[in-house]
C-alpha cells in the first residue's frame, strides 16, 4: 500500500487532545477583536502578495512560451509550452482555495479555471469552436468576453493535451494554426486576469486589515478573519466532495478519472498536492520561504499540544498525496487504486473535521457556514 498506516493512530492522538480541551472547566473567554488584526495583516498583506506576483509572472511566461512555440513549432517547443502550463497551474492551484476578494470578484476564478464542469459545457463549446474557428477567439480582448468555459486553464489544457492537437500545431495545418492562435489568446487573457488580481489585491488586503467600526465592509476584524477560516474549511471540502468524490463515483465500477480535475494534463492529484500547500499557509502563516511560522490562524490557538497534533496530521496527509502519482487515472489502474483514493478522501474528511472542531472552535471563527451547501 502507498498509504502510511500511521494516520489513524494520529486521529486518536488529536481526538485525545480535543477531549482534554473539552474537559477543561469554565467557558473560554472571547478572543479580543484586536487579536485577529495581526493575522489578517500577515496573511493578506505579507504572505499572499508574493504568490500573486508569482502567478502573474508564470502567466506571462506561459504567454511568451506559446508565442515562441507557435512562431516555429516543433516537439521541443511543445514540451516547453506544456511545462510552462504546469508551472502556472501549480501556483494557481495553491492560490485557488483562498476564494475571497479579487479572486472571486466578477467570477474571476471561473474565468481562470472553469471547473467542475458538471454538464460537459466546455467540451460541447470546444467542438463547435473547432468546427467554426471564429477569428474573435484568437483575440485576447474579445475572448475575455466569451464563455468562461472557453477561457482559462481547462481550455488551454484542451489545446495542449487533447487528441492530436499538439501534432496539428507542429504540422501548422488549418486546425493547428487556429489552435496556436487560440492558445496564445487564452494565455494572454490569463496574464490579463492575473494582472488584474495583482492590481486589486492591495486595496482588498488593506480593507481587511483595517476592519472595524469605521469600515463599510468589515465591521470587525473577527468578521474579516472569518473569510480566512471559511477558505480553509471550504478548500478541504472541495477536495473531498469534488476533486475526489467526482472521479470516485458511487463505487469502483462507477469510478471515472475523466470526471477529475485536469484529466487531460494528468495532474488531478498534483492539483490537490498544491491545494494543500496554499491551504496550510492559512493555518500556519508560511508558504514556502514566505511568511512566518505560527502567524496564521494558528496564532489564535492557545494550545501548543493541539497545534502540534494538527500539524502532524496535516503533514501526514500532505506526504500521502506527494507519494502518489500525479493523476487519478494512474492510481485507479492499480489493483488497490480505488481503495487508495477512498482512503485519501477519508483523510481529507478527517482534516476537515479537525478544522471544524479544533481550528474553528479555538479561533472562535467556525460557525457552521458552508457556501457549498447553499446555506
Q: Do residues 82 and 216 both lie within one domain?
A: no
In a domain, 49, yes or no: no
Closest alpha carbon to 232 in 298, 290, 288, 320:
298
In a domain, 46, yes or no: no
Q: Do residues 162 and 67 both lie within one domain?
A: yes
Please state whether the peptide bond connecting residue 19 to the residue before it is cis, i.e. omega within 30 degrees of 0.
Answer: no
Q: Do residues 77 and 157 both lie within one domain?
A: yes
Q: Which residues contact 113 (CB under 8 A, 6 or more apart)?
A: 92, 96, 152, 153, 154
The phi and psi torsions of 322 (rounded to 5 degrees) equal: -65, -30
Convert the pLDDT of each residue in 41-92 to its tens digit: 999 999 999 999 999 999 999 999 999 999 999 999 999 999 999 999 999 9
Q: Do residues 189 and 247 both lie within one domain?
A: no
Q: Do residues 129 and 89 both lie within one domain?
A: yes
Q: Do residues 303 and 190 both lie within one domain?
A: no
- Rounded Cα distance between 178 and 70, Å, is 10
Choose the final residue of a domain: 165, 199, 233: 199
The phi and psi torsions of 29 (rounded to 5 degrees) equal: -65, 150
Choose the final residue of a domain: 199, 221, 254: 199
Indicate the number of domains in the chain. Answer: 2
Cβ count near 71 (within 10 Å):
10
pLDDT at 39 over 80: yes
In a domain, 150, yes or no: yes
Q: pLDDT > 90: what percent of the chain?
A: 87
Q: Do residues 156 and 221 both lie within one domain?
A: no
Cell of 289: 520561504
Convert the pLDDT of each residue in 330-374 to its tens digit: 999 999 999 999 999 999 999 999 999 999 999 999 864 444 544
pLDDT score recorded for residue 9: 46
- Rounded Cα distance between 242 and 244, Å, is 6
Q: pLDDT > 70: what percent of the chain?
A: 90
Q: Do residues 156 and 188 both lie within one domain?
A: yes
Q: Do residues 347 and 264 both lie within one domain?
A: yes
In a domain, 137, yes or no: yes
In a domain, 149, yes or no: yes
In a domain, 188, yes or no: yes
Convert the pLDDT of each residue in 297-323 to its tens digit: 999 999 999 999 999 999 999 999 999
Are 62 and 85 in contact, with CB atoms under 8 Å apart? Answer: yes
Q: Do residues 158 and 263 both lie within one domain?
A: no
- Sign, Cα dihedral of 140, 146, 150, 154: positive
Q: For residue 44, what is the DSSP state?
A: I
In a domain, 1, yes or no: no
In a domain, 265, yes or no: yes
Q: Do residues 239 and 156 both lie within one domain?
A: no
Q: Do residues 184 and 236 both lie within one domain?
A: no
Cell of 169: 500545431
- Rounded Cα distance between 288 and 282, Å, is 12
CATH code of the domain in which 60 resides: 1.20.1420.20
Note down the domain range covering 121: 55-199
- Comparing 131 with 215, the larger pLDDT belongs to 131
Cβ count near 84 (within 10 Å):
23
Average pLDDT over residues 210-224: 92
Are 248 and 79 in contact, with CB atoms under 8 Å apart? Answer: no
Q: Which uninterrupted H or E stretch holds 2?
A: none
Per-residue burial over 210-247, b if 16 or more Cβ lie within 10 Å, else e, is: bbeeeeeebeebbbbbbbbbbbbbbbbbbbbbbbbbbb
Tell me the whole-structure pTM to 2 decimals.
0.92
Amino acid at each position: 500500500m502507498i498509504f502510511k498506516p500511521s494516520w489513524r493512530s494520529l486521529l486518536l492522538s488529536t481526538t485525545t487532545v480535543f477531549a482534554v480541551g473539552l474537559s477543561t472547566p469554565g467557558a473560554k473567554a472571547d478572543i479580543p477583536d484586536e487579536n485577529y488584526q495581526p493575522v489578517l495583516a500577515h496573511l493578506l498583506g505579507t504572505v499572499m502578495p508574493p504568490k500573486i506576483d508569482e502567478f502573474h509572472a508564470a502567466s506571462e511566461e506561459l504567454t511568451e512560451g506559446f508565442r515562441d512555440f507557435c512562431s516555429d513549432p516543433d516537439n521541443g517547443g511543445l514540451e516547453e509550452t506544456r511545462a510552462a502550463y504546469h508551472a502556472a497551474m501549480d501556483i494557481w492551484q495553491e492560490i485557488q482555495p483562498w476564494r475571497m476578494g479579487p479572486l472571486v470578484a466578477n467570477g474571476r476564478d471561473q474565468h481562470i479555471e472553469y471547473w467542475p464542469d458538471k454538464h460537459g459545457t466546455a467540451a460541447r463549446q470546444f467542438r463547435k469552436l473547432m468546427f467554426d474557428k471564429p477569428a474573435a477567439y484568437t483575440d485576447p480582448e474579445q475572448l475575455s468576453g466569451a464563455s468562461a468555459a472557453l477561457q482559462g486553464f481547462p481550455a488551454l489544457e484542451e489545446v495542449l493535451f487533447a487528441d492530436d492537437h499538439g501534432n496539428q500545431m507542429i504540422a501548422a495545418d488549418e486546425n493547428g494554426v487556429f489552435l496556436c492562435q487560440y492558445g496564445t489568446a487564452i494565455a494572454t487573457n490569463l496574464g490579463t486576469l492575473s494582472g488584474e488580481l495583482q492590481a486589486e489585491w492591495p486595496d482588498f488586503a488593506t480593507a481587511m486589515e483595517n476592519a472595524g467600526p469605521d469600515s463599510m465592509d468589515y465591521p470587525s476584524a473577527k468578521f474579516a478573519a472569518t473569510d480566512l477560516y471559511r477558505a480553509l474549511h471550504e478548500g478541504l471540502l472541495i477536495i473531498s466532495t469534488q476533486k475526489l468524490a467526482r472521479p470516485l463515483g458511487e463505487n469502483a465500477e462507477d469510478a471515472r478519472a475523466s470526471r477529475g480535475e485536469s484529466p487531460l494534463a494528468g495532474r488531478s492529484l498534483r492539483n490537490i498536492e498544491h491545494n494543500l500547500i496554499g491551504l496550510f499557509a492559512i493555518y500556519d502563516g508560511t508558504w514556502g520561504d514566505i511568511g512566518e511560522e505560527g502567524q496564521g490562524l494558528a496564532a489564535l490557538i492557545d494550545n501548543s499540544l493541539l497545534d502540534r497534533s494538527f500539524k502532524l496530521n496535516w503533514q501526514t496527509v500532505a506526504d500521502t498525496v506527494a507519494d502518489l502519482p500525479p493523476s487519478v487515472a494512474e492510481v485507479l489502474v492499480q489493483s488497490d487504486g480505488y481503495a487508495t483514493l477512498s482512503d485519501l478522501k477519508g483523510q481529507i474528511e478527517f482534516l476537515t473535521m479537525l478544522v471544524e472542531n479544533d481550528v474553528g472552535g479555538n479561533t472562535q471563527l467556525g460557525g457552521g457556514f458552508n457556501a457549498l451547501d447553499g446555506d
